[in-house]
Each structure stands twice: as C-alpha cells, then as structure tokens.
C-alpha cells in the first residue's frame, strides 16, 4: 500500500469514527454500549444554606447514628453519579418529618430545596470499597468532627494522598485512568508554572523527608528516567529513522500514567532544526536527558550529510578553521573556548579519533610547531597518568618517539617538563 | 555476567513467588509511525527521490509485586522499520530489570539489577545494587549508596566485555531533613566508562603517515555535590547547589534559585548559575583551553481562572553571559492543562528567532474521545554567521479513543514545513493497554 493510500484510509476511518461516536453520544446510549466509565462535570457545592445539620452531633455517642442510617444508598452505590445525599424520608426514622410545627428545627425559613450533589470526574464504587471492609471515615476524613462536610478538609472528600494509601500500584492500581475519566485536566496547578521544570527539584515534604511521596501518586520511577537518563532513543536516530515519532509536548496524553510507555517527548516538531539555539542558550541542560558522548554524535557525526549528519552551519564558513601556527585557529577556536561542551557533544566518538586530532597533533615533540592546544604551563606540576600508562589521553596527540610512559627526559614530549638527565 | 544475572533472577523469582500475595501492574503499547523521507537534495531540474518508512514500536513495562515489600520491575522497548528494514531486526532494549525491596525492616530500600541511579552528582544506568537507609525518628537521616557496571549503551545484555574496574559507577549520598523546611544533601560519585581502542593514522616526525594504535583509558568523572533547599514562611522556596570536580580540583558549577510567592496568585523567580564545562578526564576536550560562563534567569507567573480552569500567565527571561558575548531568551505565554499559547524570542550568540506555539486538548465525548492539537512556528537563524532567517512550521492533530479505562487508541497526523521539506506529513497510530491484577 502506498503512503498516500495509507493516509486516505486512516483519515477516512478517523472521520467516520468521530462522526459515529458523536452520533452515538448524542443518543446518550454511549455508557450503555461501553458500560465502564462515566463522566460528570466538577462543581464544588455547599449545602450549608439548604439545611441545618451537624455531622458531629449525629455521629456522637449520644445520638449514635451511623453514616448508612442517613446515606442509605451508599453501601450499594457503584457509580459516582449516584446522589447519596439523604432525602427527607431518610430522616424520618428518627425525626417526625410530618410535624409541621418543627420544620425550623432543620429547615431555614422558606428553604425546602433538595441537596445539590457534588459531581466528580472519576470512576468510583462505594459498594466495592465498603466490601473491602473500609470505614467511611477512612476516606471522608474528619467528617465526624464538623457540622457540614464542606467544613472538613477537602470538603470531606478524600484527597489523592488518601487514595494513595491503598492505590499505590501494589495493593491497588494507581494508573490515572483506573479512577479518572477526563485525562485532559489532571495536571496539578503548580505544574503549570513556566519554571516548573526548574522548580520541581525544590518540592519536597520536610515532614516526612520524602520529596517524592506526592510525585509517585501519578508518576512511576520510570517517569524520572525519561529525562534523567540518557535518551532512550539513543543511537536510533540513524539514517532510516532520523525523525523521532514523538507526540509534541503538553499533550493530554502525557498526563496519562500509561503514557509513559507511549512515544512521547518534550520537544516540539521541527526541534531538530532549532535545538541549536537552546543548546547554546542553555535554556535546558541537554545533558540532563541526553548523554552527549553518544546521543549527539548519532546525528552530528563526522562525515554526516545534509539529511543525516546535520553539520552545524558555522562549520561551513570560510574562516571557521585557519591553518598554521599563530593563525589563531579562526572562528572554531573562539567557539570552542566559549562552549567546548558543544564540540564534545558531536566530536567525541567512541572508538575513533575526535576531529580535533586532525590538526591538534604533536608529531615532533618540538614546542611551538603545532596548533596551540593547552594553556601555558598546562599540568606542569602534576604527576599525571601519562607517567604510568600508554592509555593516557596525552598520547592520542603526542606521538613523537619519546611520547610514552618510559620516555626520555629532555627529549620531545618528556622534554616539555623534564630537562636532560645529568 | 549474563549467566550470573539470569541465575540470580531465577532464584529470586522462585523464592518470591512461593510465599507472598502478588499483584501485576502491566503496561503495553504498540505504535506505528509512517513518513516519507528525502534522501538527497535533488539537483536543479531533477525530481526528488523519496523512501517510505513505517516503523513499529513496542513498549512493555510491568511491575510484579510480592506483598507490599518486593517488586520485580522492568521496561523494555524495541522497534523496526517494516518497509525499509533497519538491518538489525527487533533488538530489545531493557531499560530496567530490577528487584526492589521497599521499606525493609522499616528502614531500608534495596534495588538489585539494571536500574537508573540519580544521587546528587552521580547519574547513570547501572547493572548493580542500590540501597537507601532511612534512620531517625522521622527518617530524617537518609543514606544512599550504589554501585555497579555501567549498562551497555545498547541496553542489551551483550556488552559485558569491559573490566568492571574500568567501567563502573559508584557513589553515595547523604540527605538530612531534620530541620523544619530545610533539606541538605551531600553526595559523591565516581564514574568510569571504558572506551574502545582503535587504529588510526598519525604523522611521524617527518610527517609520513603511520598506523597508530590508540588504547584510551576510561573516561573518568569524580565529583562531589552539596545542595540546600529551604522553604521560608511556607511559601518562598530557595535552592542552592555546588559541584566539585576531584580531577580538576575545582568547583565547576554553582547555582542558586529562589521563588517568591508574592501572594496566592503571583510568583517571582530568579536564578543564577556559574558553570565551567563538565568534561570527562581522558577525553581530548579536557585538555583544551576553555572558558567559564554564567547564566541568569528570572520570571513572573500569574495564576488565575479562565473559562473555569486554572490558567498560568507568565513571562520569562534567560541570559547566558559568555566571554565577550551573550545570549538572551524571552518568553511570554499562557498555559493550562487543556490549552496554552506563547511567544518566544532569542537574540545574541545562540541565534536570532521569533517563535510562537499553541496547544489545545479537549474531550469531544466525555470519557471516551479526546482531541489533541498543537501548532508551532519559528523564524530563525542559528547565529550571526547566517543572516537569512529560515521559517519552520509544525502542526499536529490527534484523537485518543478510550472505550474502556484500560485500553486506548491514539491517532495523530503531523504536518511539518522546514528548510528541507516544504510539506512533510506523518501519521502515528498507537494502541495502549494497561492491566492491574491481584492473584491472591
């Protein structure tokens, strides 16, 4: 199949699918078809103005009511959209709700409204959780100490840290979509900060000494590795696979825990063309995620062509390199002094000469006859590894006959520091 | 080494499966990505030759949990171009293969196997051991230690042909959380990566070419790091870090950052970095004469509600001060979970650029179908040595269909325009599955 046909088939299928789904959705039979998830919009509601009530009083030993006495449907509820607020009839087991003289004991003047249910975009079954022998207050923390649920922390509803005590990926699942139905709005508020990439290292819980406790609710250990590890596509940007097939950043799918296994990336499309600016501007520390020794070289290797090698444009300028002692080296010398990590990121190729050695070599052991490489007095007072091993980096460039661990004092490489033995 | 790893895992697996309740957390993703590529720039008057590519990617991650203490975890990836074969078939890359013990004796985390290590100055993937000892009433004293063979670059189990003494990462970190709102870290790392020997050509003293064998010592980094984090009045965060290189015997990096919350809505951030290049000893780059540079950054973030969602409006500035030149970056934008847009400008040594980007995500059908989209544009040059600016444009439009919570399909079309391709259209299709299951 040609690529053109491939696109046509997929685009047609996508359009057909979207149309069909939209039609089905309009007829409200979607949940019946898939029957697994439901979504309702979120709205924070307080029933303080609807009824006079005191959870603390009702749950006290004096009264001895249990949650299920009022929230009668809770034990059997399997959907978060079920309205579990008590109806007036539920109060009748203790209160004479037909006694019109005592309406004001619970109702405000002229206010006889139903409770507005709190709506959530999650999958939740009270029945399933109660079946795990959980107490209501394990999730609805502090409800027994307040009048209205809205007075309790988080409105009497569990926060995610609470869920995480069981949904830790071991006892119970902690993938986002195990509970959340809308994955486009899960990003915490602080993650929106423009500097969050830099800020996230400051976030820790001093009380527990665990700076990862909250992170781990949404992110697995693998998530950190996505950045703090040399890129997982290392070496795969070869000729036949030059472009990484990543989603662009900030897509909803990145908040998806299972999305860790998707092909995701932090960079925009076309980033391979513009990343040079970020590299020099240091907007991001490339090294945090990419190992420069092998990642950059996989595209920028010596001899790369326009399509695969992507040699930086400044390398083609006429004054990029000047040859000859005391010529200053041209533009490349200035650039290298300024940002030698960039040079290393492309030219340090394992198992081959770095490009620098083409000119920066010393074959005769005579000072001043080769391109300048070191600062004056470089390592002069150091007894470095070149005294003991032929593998010392010095011998990559210094190749005169005396350039070896047992070289002759006063001659060639050794003579730079050691005079003639007397 | 391979046999040792295999035997260890079989023994450990056999031991763990006998006496613990188990659960499995599995994620599986298959993606297919297709595009055409231009292999050569056509000569004037000739038509371009394209090759077609359809690459399949397979990712697998699972955690097999034994009780609440032990986990056997792995993540594996492979890919192959099914139209233009890459020549090596589906070679598997194992990013993690480890056994982890959590909170053993209420004080110890232990991890054995292939794993990523990040402990202050030490960073890398090893085939080895890592532990974290948590002591004190509130576990305010924490000691991390790690060591192992540096994972082969191909993430397979083939490349164990180096000596451990030349190819390892070892180190440790001490963390202290004993003072309220303060954390202190001290770390040390020693990393050596063995390099491949090679034959090359050199000139003799008369400039005649000779064959020359280079057998380099392993690239070495030995450094220490100290960091401090402090939260003032529960809302202002400060952070500082210093790195010391034992090989060059100097501090090669220092940074301080602070974020001040002026109120619930406005945050100011400032930062300063001092850096010298961090280069491994035994690379030729280490011996060159190089310069240090400094970085400054600042920004303001304003959080508000827009259309019922939290939105962050921000402005940022970053500058790098090199010797005799500098590079500046400015950014203005707005971001929320569901949408965002911004403009970016670079000027100076890094290049000149004006760019804009936007993204938008929306649930078309609640809990079932999500639209994802993004656009970005930039007009740039990569430094003052090229005066003409080039335009690039990228756009993506995708759908995620999630019929049940544990299964979803992603489809995404991408369109790019850049200095090589006038129009470059691509398509991505992905199938995602996760499973959590308890066995007993």
Q: How far apart are CA B133 and CA B104, in angstroms?
A: 9
Give one word for B67, left, alpha or beta, with left for phi > 0 and alpha for psi -120 to 50: left
Contact residues, chain B, for A255 at CB < 8 Å: 337
Task: List the beta bridge partners of residue B173.
Answer: B144, B187
Q: Indicate the pairing of strand B250-261 with strand B236-245.
A: antiparallel
Structure confidence at residue A35 as a pLDDT band (50, 70, 90): very low
Contact B239 A202 (CB under 8 A): yes
8 Å CB contact between B189 and B243: no
pLDDT confidence of residue A31? 36
**Helix A340-347, helix A331-338: angle, nearest 10:** 100
pLDDT confidence of residue A283? 67
Task: Find where tokens 């280079």 sit.
Answer: B214
8 Å CB contact between A126 and A120: no
| Residue B315 pLDDT greater than 90, yes or no | yes
Greater confidence (A260 vs A175) lies with: A175
pLDDT per residue as tens digits for the range B2-51: 666 667 767 766 666 666 668 888 888 888 888 877 666 667 777 777 77
pLDDT confidence of residue A206? 43
Pick the residue from chain B with its C-alpha nearest to A357. B284
pTM of the model: 0.81
| Residue A64 pLDDT greater than 70, yes or no | yes
8 Å CB contact between B297 and B270: yes
- Shortest CA gap B43–chain A (Å): 14
Contact B329 A238 (CB under 8 A): no
Contact B25 A252 (CB under 8 A): no
Q: How far apart are CA B399 and CA B370, in angstroms?
A: 6
Q: Indicate if the alpha-carbon torsion angle A89, A95, A98, A100 is positive or negative.
A: negative
pLDDT per residue as tens digits for the range A151-181: 888 888 888 888 888 888 888 888 887 888 8
pLDDT confidence of residue A254? 39
Structure confidence at residue B300 as a pLDDT band (50, 70, 90): very high
Contact A248 B346 (CB under 8 A): no
Half-sphere exposure of A232 (CA within 13 A, CB side): 29
pLDDT confidence of residue B31? 84
pLDDT over 70, % of chain A: 69
8 Å CB contact between A209 and B142: yes
Q: How far apart are CA A209 and CA A211, in angstroms?
A: 6
pLDDT confidence of residue A221? 67
| Residue A37 pLDDT greater than 60, yes or no | no
Please report the number of interchain residue pairs, chain A to chain B, with beta-carbon separation below 8 angstroms.
470
Q: How far apart are CA A186 and CA A181, in angstroms?
A: 10
CATH of the domain at B70: 2.40.160
The SS3 of residue A40 is coil
Of A191-195, A314-318, B332-336, B397-401, the least confident: A191-195
pLDDT confidence of residue B333? 92
Q: Which long-range CB contacts under 8 A does A77-80 form with residues at least 24 apart?
A: A77/A125, A77/A126, A77/A127, A78/A125, A78/A126, A78/A127, A78/A128, A79/A38, A79/A124, A79/A125, A80/A38, A80/A40, A80/A120, A80/A122, A80/A123, A80/A124
pLDDT confidence of residue A90? 86
Contact residues, chain B, for A219 at CB < 8 Å: none
Contact residues, chain A, for B340 at CB < 8 Å: 250
Structure confidence at residue A235 as a pLDDT band (50, 70, 90): very low
Which of B45-49, B173-177, B282-286 is most confident? Answer: B173-177
Q: Is A339 on the interface with B (CB under 8 A)?
A: yes
- Shortest CA gap A419–chain B (Å): 20
Structure confidence at residue A248 as a pLDDT band (50, 70, 90): very low
Considering only CB atoms, A277 lies closest to which of B55, B350, B412, namely B350
pLDDT confidence of residue A303? 46
pLDDT confidence of residue A326? 77
pLDDT confidence of residue B40? 64
pLDDT confidence of residue A298? 65
- Residue whose C-alpha is closest to residue B114's, from B102, B99, B103: B99
**Rg, C-alpha atoms of chain A:** 35
- Residue whose C-alpha is closest to residue A232's, from A262, A204, A253: A262
Contact residues, chain A, for B309 at CB < 8 Å: 185
| Residue A239 pLDDT greater than 50, yes or no | no
Q: Indicate the pairing of strand B182-193 with strand B198-203.
A: unpaired
Contact B359 A313 (CB under 8 A): no
Domain that holds residue B223: 22-111+136-141+180-185+197-438
Task: List the beta bridge partners of residue B123.
Answer: B118
Pick the residue from chain A with its C-alpha nearest to B378. A274
What lies within 8 Å, CB to CB, of B118 at 6+ separation is A224, A228
Contact residues, chain A, for B177 at CB < 8 Å: 204, 206, 208-209
Contact residues, chain A, for B348 at CB < 8 Å: 281
Question: CA torsion A90→A93→A98→A100, rounded to 10°?
Answer: -90
Contact residues, chain B, for A202 at CB < 8 Å: 229, 231, 237-239, 257, 259
Q: Is A287 on the interface with B (CB under 8 A)?
A: yes
- B42: in domain: yes
Q: Is A17 on the interface with B (CB under 8 A)?
A: yes
Task: Find where tokens 């595009």 sit.
Answer: B35
For an interface test with A, give the residue of B350, B358, B364, B401 to mutate (most A CBs within 10 A). B350
Q: How far apart are CA B232 and CA A195, in angstroms?
A: 19
pLDDT confidence of residue A249? 35
The number of domains in chain B is 1
pLDDT confidence of residue B347? 92
- B166: in domain: no
Greater confidence (B137 vs A300) lies with: B137
Task: List the beta bridge partners of residue B291.
Answer: none
Report chain B's mean pLDDT, rounded to a whole number: 86
Report chain A's mean pLDDT, rounded to a whole number: 73
Could you state, in order of their start, the residue ranges of all structural domains in chain A? 55-158, 229-359, 360-422
| Residue A196 pLDDT greater than 50, yes or no | yes
Q: Indicate the pairing of strand B219-232 with strand B236-245.
A: antiparallel
pLDDT over 90, % of chain B: 31
pLDDT confidence of residue B433? 87
- B233: in domain: yes
Contact residues, chain B, for A2 at CB < 8 Å: 52
**Helix A271-281, helix A340-347: angle, nearest 10:** 140
Q: How far apart are CA B223 and CA B123, in angstroms?
A: 11
Contact residues, chain B, for A317 at CB < 8 Å: 385
Task: List the beta bridge partners of residue A217.
Answer: none
Q: Indicate the pairing of strand B168-176 with strand B50-66.
A: unpaired
- B124: in domain: no
Pick the residue from chain A with its C-alpha nearest to B337. A185
8 Å CB contact between B296 and B321: yes
pLDDT confidence of residue B316? 92
Q: How far apart are CA B27 and CA B437, in angstroms?
A: 12
pLDDT confidence of residue B119? 82
CA angle B116, B120, B126 (to 5 degrees): 25
Residues 135-164 of chain A with CB under 8 A from chain B are none
pLDDT per residue as tens digits for the range B319-356: 999 888 899 999 999 988 788 899 999 999 888 899 99
Contact B287 A294 (CB under 8 A): no
Contact A262 B29 (CB under 8 A): yes
pLDDT confidence of residue A203? 64
Contact residues, chain A, for B297 at CB < 8 Å: 195, 198
Which of A116-125, A206-215, B346-355 is most confident? Answer: B346-355
The helix or strand, by DSSP H or E, that contains position A177, with its residue range, turns out to be helix A176-179
pLDDT confidence of residue B17? 64
The SS3 of residue A334 is helix
pLDDT confidence of residue B421? 79
SS3 sequence of A376-396: CCCCCCCCCHHHCCCCCCHHH
Tokens found for residue B75: 């993540």
| Residue B201 pLDDT greater than 80, yes or no | yes
pLDDT confidence of residue A15? 66
Contact A198 B123 (CB under 8 A): no
8 Å CB contact between B320 and B326: yes
Greater confidence (B315 vs B282) lies with: B315
Q: How far apart are CA A385 and CA A353, in angstroms?
A: 20
- B349: in domain: yes
DSSP 8-state secondary structure symbol assigned to residue B23? E
Greater confidence (A28 vs B94) lies with: B94
- B153: in domain: no
Contact residues, chain A, for B55 at CB < 8 Å: 241, 245
- B3: in domain: no
| Residue B420 pLDDT greater than 80, yes or no | no
pLDDT confidence of residue A171? 85
Considering only CB atoms, A10 lies closest to which of B73, B290, B427, namely B427
The helix or strand, by DSSP H or E, that contains position B384, with its residue range, turns out to be none
- Residue whose C-alpha is closest to residue B293's, from A337, A124, A128, A125: A337
Q: How far, CA to CA in Å, does A77 sit from each of A68, B286, B409?
A: 12, 67, 30
Contact A273 B295 (CB under 8 A): no
- Residue whose C-alpha is closest to residue B432's, from B25, B28, B26, B24: B28
- Give me the mean pLDDT over the A356-369 stretch: 85
pLDDT per residue as tens digits for the range B70-121: 999 888 888 888 887 766 677 788 888 999 999 999 999 999 999 988 888 8
pLDDT confidence of residue B57? 82
pLDDT confidence of residue B190? 96
8 Å CB contact between B282 and B217: yes
- Shortest CA gap B174–chain A (Å): 12
pLDDT confidence of residue A265? 53
- Give me the mean pLDDT over the B411-430 stretch: 85
Residue A141: how many other CB atoms lie within 10 Å: 17
- Shortest CA gap A72–chain B (Å): 28
Q: How far, CA to CA in Å, does A25 sit from each of A218, A357, B411?
A: 30, 67, 20
Greater confidence (B43 vs A73) lies with: A73
Q: How far, CA to CA in Å, does A148 sit from each of A52, A142, B6, B180?
A: 9, 11, 59, 33
pLDDT confidence of residue A250? 33
- B6: in domain: no
- Give me the mean pLDDT over the A337-350 stretch: 80
- Shortest CA gap A137–chain B (Å): 23
pLDDT per residue as tens digits for the range B241-256: 999 999 888 899 999 9
Contact A282 B295 (CB under 8 A): yes
């Amino acid at each position: 199949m040609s690529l053109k046909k491939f696109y046509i088939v997929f685009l047609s299928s996508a359009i057909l699918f979207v149309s069909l789904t939209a039609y089905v959705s309009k007829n409200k039979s979607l949940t019946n078809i898939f029957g697994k998830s439901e979504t309702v919009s979120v709205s924070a509601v307080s029933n303080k103005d609807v009824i006079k009530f005191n959870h603390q009083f009702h749950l006290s030993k004096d009264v001895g009511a249990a949650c299920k006495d009022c929230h009668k449907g809770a034990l059997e509820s399997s959907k978060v959209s079920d309205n579990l607020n008590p109806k007036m009839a539920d109060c009748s087991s203790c209160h004479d709700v037909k006694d019109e003289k005592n309406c004001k004991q619970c109702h405000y003047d002229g206010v006889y409204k139903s409770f507005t249910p709190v709506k959530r975009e999650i999958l939740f079954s009270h029945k399933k959780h109660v079946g795990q022998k959980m107490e209501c207050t394990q999730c609805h923390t502090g409800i027994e100490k307040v009048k209205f649920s809205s007075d309790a922390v988080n409105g009497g509803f569990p926060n995610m840290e609470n869920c995480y005590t069981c949904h830790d990926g071991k006892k119970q699942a902690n993938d986002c979509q195990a509970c959340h139905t809308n994955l486009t709005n899960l990003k915490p508020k602080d993650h929106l900060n423009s500097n969050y990439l830099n800020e996230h290292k400051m976030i820790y819980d001093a009380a527990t000494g665990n700076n990862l406790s909250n992170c781990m609710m949404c992110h697995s250990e693998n998530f950190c590795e996505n950045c703090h590890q040399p890129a997982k596509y290392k070496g795969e940007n070869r000729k036949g696979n030059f472009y990484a097939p990543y989603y662009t950043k900030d897509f909803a799918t990145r908040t998806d825990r299972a999305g860790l296994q998707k092909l995701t990336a932090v960079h925009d499309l076309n980033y391979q063309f513009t990343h040079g600016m970020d590299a020099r501007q240091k907007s991001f520390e490339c090294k945090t995620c990419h190992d420069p020794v092998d990642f950059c070289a996989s595209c920028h290797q010596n001899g790369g062509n326009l399509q695969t090698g992507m040699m930086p444009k400044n390398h083609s300028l006429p004054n990029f390199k000047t040859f000859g002692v005391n010529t200053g080296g041209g533009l490349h010398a200035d650039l290298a002094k300024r940002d030698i990590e960039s040079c290393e990121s492309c030219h340090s190729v394992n198992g081959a000469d770095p490009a620098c050695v083409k000119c920066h070599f010393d074959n005769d052991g005579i000072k001043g006859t080769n391109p300048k490489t070191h600062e004056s007095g470089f390592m002069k007072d150091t007894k470095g590894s070149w005294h003991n091993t032929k593998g010392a980096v010095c011998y990559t460039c210094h190749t005169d006959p005396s350039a070896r661990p047992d070289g002759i004092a006063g001659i060639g490489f050794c003579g730079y520091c050691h005079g003639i033995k007397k | 080494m391979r046999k040792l790893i295999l035997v260890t895992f079989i023994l450990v697996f056999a031991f763990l499966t006998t006496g613990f309740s188990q659960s499995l957390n599995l994620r599986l993703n298959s993606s297919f990505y297709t595009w055409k590529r231009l292999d050569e720039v056509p000569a004037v008057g000739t038509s371009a030759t394209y090759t077609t590519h359809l690459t399949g990617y397979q990712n697998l991650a699972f955690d097999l949990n034994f009780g609440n203490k032990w986990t056997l975890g792995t993540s594996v990836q492979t890919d192959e171009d099914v139209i233009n074969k890459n020549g090596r078939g589906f070679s598997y890359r194992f990013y993690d293969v480890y056994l982890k013990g959590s909170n053993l004796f209420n004080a110890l985390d232990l991890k054995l196997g292939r794993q990523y290590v990040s402990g202050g100055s030490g960073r890398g993937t090893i085939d080895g051991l890592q532990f974290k000892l948590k002591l004190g009433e509130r576990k305010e004293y924490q000691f991390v230690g790690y060591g192992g063979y540096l994972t082969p670059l191909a993430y397979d189990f083939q490349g164990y042909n180096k000596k451990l003494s030349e190819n390892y990462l070892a180190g440790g970190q001490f963390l202290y959380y004993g003072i309220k709102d303060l954390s202190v870290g001290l770390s040390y790392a020693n990393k050596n990566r063995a390099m491949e020997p090679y034959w090359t050509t050199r000139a003799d003293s008369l400039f005649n070419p000779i064959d020359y064998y280079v057998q380099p010592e392993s690239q070495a980094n030995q450094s220490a790091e100290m960091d401090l984090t402090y939260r003032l009045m529960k809302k202002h965060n400060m952070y500082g870090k210093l790195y010391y290189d034992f090989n060059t015997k100097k501090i090669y990096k220092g940074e301080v950052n602070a974020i001040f919350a002026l109120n619930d809505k406005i945050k100011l951030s400032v930062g300063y970095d001092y850096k010298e290049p961090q280069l491994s000893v035994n690379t030729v780059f280490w011996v060159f004469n190089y310069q240090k540079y400094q970085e400054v950054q600042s920004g303001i973030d304003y959080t508000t509600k827009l259309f019922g969602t939290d939105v962050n409006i921000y402005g940022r500035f970053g500058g790098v001060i090199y010797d005799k030149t500098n590079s500046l970056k400015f950014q203005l934008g707005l971001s929320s979970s569901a949408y965002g847009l911004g403009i970016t400008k670079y000027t100076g040594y890094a290049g000149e650029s004006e760019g804009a980007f936007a993204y938008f995500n929306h649930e078309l059908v609640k809990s079932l179908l999500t639209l994802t989209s993004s656009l970005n544009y930039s007009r740039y040059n990569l430094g003052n040595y090229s005066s003409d600016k080039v335009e690039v444009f990228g756009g993506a439009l995708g759908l995620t269909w999630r019929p049940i919570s544990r299964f979803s399909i992603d489809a995404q079309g991408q369109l790019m325009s850049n200095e090589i391709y006038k129009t470059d259209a691509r398509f991505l299709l992905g199938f995602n599955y996760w499973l959590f299951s308890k066995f007993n």
